[in-house]
Amino acid sequence: MKKVVVIGPESTGKSTLSEQLAAHYNTIWVPEYARQFIEELPRPYEQHDLLDIAEGQLSLEDERAALANKLLICDTDVHVIKVWSEHKYNGCDPLILAYIASRKYDLYLLTYIDVPWVEDPQREYPDPKMREYFFNVYRDIVAASGVPWVEIRGSVQDRLRTSVHAIDSLLKEV
């Protein structure tokens, strides 16, 4: 089983790309658990909720991995929760850090901020400077991960084409 993570700032097409890739490879994808969790939460999320979100994301990933067809596409990973926790609350639960260390992935697809911002009540940072800031944070994470990664830019078609090329290369290694 190969695991590919689509990672990047808010509103950069991660879910769209994840869904397209799953369809292309006749497999399934793992949606971002935080969206469902926050939507069902009767109050604004707080720092302690991030651990629940991390655990829900990993549980959903494990559940979907059992159903995947040799390739699992993950729309985010627990690094995103770490980034949000450190940015918003100036720290991160050590258990979240342990979860990050325990998970292994085969490829990161880092989505760039060259797509228009789409307003959504769960999104927090539409400012272009903040989008660039978060892109750079995620770039540093994937660059330091020791896992191959590819920057994904351009139109929806360009993004899909670049991603398919990267995944095809990964699958040839098997």
Tens of pLDDT, residues 57-103: 999 999 999 999 999 999 999 999 999 999 999 999 999 999 999 99
Instruction: Give the three-state DSSP class for 48.
Output: coil
Range of the domain at 39: 2-172
> What's the CA gap between 4 and 54, in Å, rounded?
17
Q: What's the pTM? A: 0.95
Question: At 173, is the pLDDT very low, low, confident or very high (cuts 50, 70, 90)?
Answer: confident
Per-residue pLDDT at 101: 97
- Describe the crossing of helices 78-89 and 94-102 by its angle, rounded to 10 degrees: 150
Per-residue pLDDT at 121: 66
If one counts the domains in the chain, the total is 1
Residue with tokens 């991960």: 145
Angle at 53 between CA 37 and CA 79, to 5 degrees: 130
> What's the CA gap between 56 and 67, in Å, rounded?
17
pLDDT in tens, 109-162: 999 999 988 877 667 767 889 999 999 999 999 999 999 999 999 999 999 999
52: its two tokens: 């629940």
**What single DSSP character describes residue 11?**
T
For the chain, the distance separating the N- and C-terminal CA atoms, rounded to the nearest angstrom, is 10
> What's the CA gap between 142 and 4, in Å, rounded?
12
88: its two tokens: 């918003």
Q: The domain spanning residue 99 has which CATH number?
A: 3.40.50.300
